[in-house]
C-alpha cells in the first residue's frame, strides 16, 4: 500500500461546498443602526466610513434598504436630544430607541428588533450608570432599577430581544424579574455579559456620542488579559437567566467565543465591534486588502463557535452573499 504521507483530504473544487464546515448566512447577521432623535440628520460617522447616524424621521428609507438586502435583525442605538446625569432618555416611554422600534415594527414587522439596555448614550457624563459623587465611580445598586425601567419601556415599545450591555452586578436577574413582573415573560435576554474594557470601542463612542467625560469603564468591564474571568461571568449570567450570550469584541477574543461555546448551551453572539469594522474598512478602502477579508473574518467568528454576529458589515455581507460569495 502506498500511504500518502500528507493527510490532507483529497478533494476537487466540485466538492468544496459538500465538505465545508462553516457557512455565513443572512440569518446570522445583526445590523446596528444609530438613530438620532433630532429631525433631518443623515450623517456618516467620520471614524466609521459607510456607517450613518440617521434621524427617526428618515428611518423609513434606511429600514427599506435593510429589508430589501435581506437583513433579518437590527439593533438600535440612540442619540437623544438631551442628556442628563440620570440618563432619563434611556427609560422614557417615547425615548429615541423606543420610537425607532415602534417605527420599525409598524413598517417592517418582518425585521427582528433588539434593543441595547444601557445608560451611557443618555448620561451627560457618558458612563453606563449613576455616578457616586464621592468616589466618581458608577454606583451599581442605584443604577439597577433604572436599567429595569429601560428594559421594560423597550419591551413595551415592541422589542423582540432585550440586550443589556451595562455590566452592573446582578443586571440579568433584575431585568428578568422586571420583565416578568410586567408581563414580558416571553421576551428573551441577550446578555453582553462578556464585555472586555477594549480600545476597539473607540469609533462607537464617536458614533453614539458616549465617550466618558472622566475616568474609564475599567471598573465594570473586563480586563483583556483574563480568560477564566469570562467563565465566571458566563456562569453567573446563565444562573441569572440569560438566554443568549454576547462576547465583545470578537476578533481578538475568538478563544473566548470558543470557551463560551464549549461551556454553555445557549446561542453565542459575537459582537464584531466598531474598531474591528473601521480597521478592516480602511484596509479595503485604501486597497491594502481585498474585500473578501470581510467574509473570512465572519467565517472565523462562526468557526470559533458564534451562532450570530452583530456587525456593521451586514449590508456588505448581504450583497456578497447575493453575489454568491461564501
* Binding residue (CB under 6 A) for ligand PBG from 204, 220, 253, 313: 204
Q: Which residue, 284, 273, 253, 299, is CA-closest to 208?
A: 273
Beta bridge partners of 34: 53, 77
Between 184 and 196, name the residue whose CB sits nearer to ligand PBG: 196
Rounded CA gap, 39 and 94, in Å? Answer: 15
| Residue whose C-beta lies closest to ligand PBG | 204
CB of 319 to ligand PBG, least distance (A): 21
Phi, psi of 161 (to 5 degrees): -140, 140
CB of 8 to ligand PBG, least distance (A): 38
- Binding-residue total with ligand PBG (CB under 6 A): 9
Q: Is 5 assigned to a binding site? A: no
The three cell numbers of residue 231 are: 467563565
Between 137 and 322, name the residue whose CB sits nearer to ligand PBG: 137
83 tagged catalytic: no
Q: Is 274 assigned to a binding site? A: yes
Q: Is 120 assigned to a binding site? A: yes
Rounded CA gap, 307 and 246, in Å? Answer: 10
Q: Is 139 exposed, middle or buried (0-12, 13-18, 19+ CB in 10 A)?
A: middle
Quickly count: other Cβ atoms within 10 Å of residue 172's Cβ: 22
Contact (CB, 8 A) for 272 and 297? yes
Between 169 and 181, name the residue whose CB sits nearer to ligand PBG: 169
* Binding residue (CB under 6 A) for ligand PBG from 49, 105, 205, 258: 205
Give the end-to-end CA distance of the chain in Å, rounded to a whole number. Answer: 38
Contact (CB, 8 A) for 168 and 142? no
Q: Please name the residues in contact with 187: beta carbons below 8 A apart, sequence gap of 6 or more.
A: 155, 159, 160, 161, 162, 179
CB of 51 to ligand PBG, least distance (A): 9
Look at the alpha carbons of 220, 224, 228, 231 in this order and tell me if their dihedral is positive or negative: positive
CB of 266 to ligand PBG, least distance (A): 19
Contact (CB, 8 A) for 45 and 312? no
Q: Which of residues 106-135 bind ligand PBG (CB under 6 A)?
A: 116, 118, 120
CB of 129 to ligand PBG, least distance (A): 11
Q: Please tell me whether residue 49 binds ligand PBG under the rule CB under 6 A.
A: no
Q: Is 217 assigned to a binding site? A: yes
Between 1 and 225, name the residue whose CB sits nearer to ligand PBG: 225
From the candidates 195, 199, 302, 315, give the one annotated as an active-site residue.
Answer: 195
* Binding residue (CB under 6 A) for ligand PBG from 165, 191, 280, 297: 165
Q: Please name the residues in contact with 50: beta carbons below 8 A apart, sequence gap of 6 or more.
A: 44, 281, 312, 315, 316
**Cell 435576554 found at:** 189
Q: Is 205 assigned to a binding site? A: yes
42 tagged catalytic: no
What is the binding site for ligand PBG (CB under 6 A)? 116, 118, 120, 165, 201, 204-205, 273-274
Q: Which residues are catalytic?
A: 195, 248
Which residue numbers belong to the known binding site?
Answer: 118, 120, 128, 205, 217, 233, 274, 312
Amino acid at each position: 500500500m502506498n500511504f500518502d504521507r500528507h493527510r490532507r483530504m483529497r478533494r476537487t473544487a466540485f466538492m468544496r461546498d459538500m465538505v465545508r464546515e462553516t457557512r455565513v448566512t443572512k440569518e446570522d447577521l445583526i445590523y446596528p443602526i444609530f438613530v438620532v432623535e433630532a429631525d433631518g440628520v443623515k450623517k456618516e460617522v467620520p471614524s466609521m466610513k459607510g456607517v450613518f447616524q440617521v434621524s427617526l424621521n428618515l428611518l423609513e428609507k434606511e429600514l427599506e434598504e435593510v429589508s430589501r438586502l435581506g437583513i433579518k435583525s437590527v439593533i438600535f442605538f440612540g442619540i437623544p436630544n438631551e442628556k442628563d446625569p440620570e440618563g432619563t432618555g434611556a427609560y422614557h416611554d417615547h425615548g429615541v430607541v423606543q420610537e425607532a422600534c415602534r417605527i420599525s415594527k409598524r413598517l417592517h414587522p418582518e425585521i427582528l428588533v433588539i434593543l441595547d439596555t444601557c445608560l451611557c448614550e443618555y448620561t451627560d457624563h457618558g458612563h453606563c450608570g449613576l455616578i457616586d459623587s464621592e468616589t466618581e465611580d458608577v454606583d451599581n445598586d442605584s443604577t439597577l432599577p433604572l436599567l429595569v425601567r429601560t428594559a421594560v419601556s423597550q419591551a413595551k415599545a415592541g422589542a423582540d430581544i432585550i440586550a443589556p450591555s451595562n455590566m452592573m452586578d446582578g443586571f440579568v436577574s433584575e431585568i428578568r424579574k422586571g420583565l416578568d413582573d410586567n408581563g414580558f415573560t416571553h421576551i428573551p435576554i441577550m446578555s453582553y455579559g462578556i464585555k472586555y474594557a477594549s480600545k476597539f470601542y473607540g469609533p462607537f463612542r464617536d458614533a453614539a456620542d458616549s465617550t466618558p467625560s472622566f475616568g474609564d469603564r475599567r471598573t465594570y468591564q473586563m480586563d483583556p488579559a483574563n480568560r477564566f474571568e469570562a467563565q465566571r461571568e458566563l456562569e453567573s449570567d446563565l444562573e441569572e437567566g440569560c438566554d443568549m450570550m454576547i462576547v465583545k469584541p470578537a476578533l481578538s477574543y475568538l478563544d473566548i467565543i470558543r470557551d463560551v461555546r464549549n461551556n454553555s448551551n445557549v446561542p453565542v453572539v459575537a459582537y464584531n465591534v466598531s474598531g474591528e469594522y473601521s480597521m478592516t474598512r480602511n484596509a479595503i478602502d485604501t486597497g491594502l486588502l481585498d474585500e473578501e477579508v470581510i467574509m473570512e473574518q465572519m467565517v472565523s467568528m462562526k468557526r470559533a463557535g458564534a451562532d450570530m454576529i452583530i456587525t456593521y458589515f451586514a449590508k456588505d455581507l448581504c450583497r456578497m452573499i447575493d453575489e454568491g460569495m461564501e
